[in-house]
């Protein structure tokens, strides 16, 4: 359950950083570069992916064997 909570928090933070970059994209000029928020989004996406891979390798979660 802790693993799912961590992943949900990471996904919420990913979406939050994506929406933080949106006004900078629309306005065009800002003191903070847009790449700061998009870079954070990519970093947390990679962290979430690595956590999923580690959880699958250790057996904490199991992939669905029948996709239908």
Question: What is residue 22's predicted lDDT score, i.e. its pLDDT?
Answer: 87
Put simply, whether the predicted model's pTM sits higher than 0.75 gets the answer yes
Among candidate residues 67, 47, 34, the one with its CA nearest the CA of residue 3: 47
As given in the structure block, the two tokens for residue 62 are 């199991």
- Residue 21, classified by CB atoms within 10 Å of its CB into exposed (0-12), middle (13-18) or buried (19+), is buried
Where is pLDDT greater, at 62 or 28?
62
63 pLDDT tier (thresholds 50, 70, 90): confident
């Amino acid at each position: 359950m802790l693993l799912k909570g961590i992943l949900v928090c990471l996904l919420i933070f990913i979406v939050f950083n994506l929406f933080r970059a949106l006004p900078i994209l629309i306005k065009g000029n800002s003191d903070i570069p847009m790449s700061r928020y998009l870079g954070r989004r990519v970093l947390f996406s990679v962290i979430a992916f690595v956590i999923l891979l580690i959880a699958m390798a250790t057996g904490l979660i199991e992939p669905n064997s029948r996709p239908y």
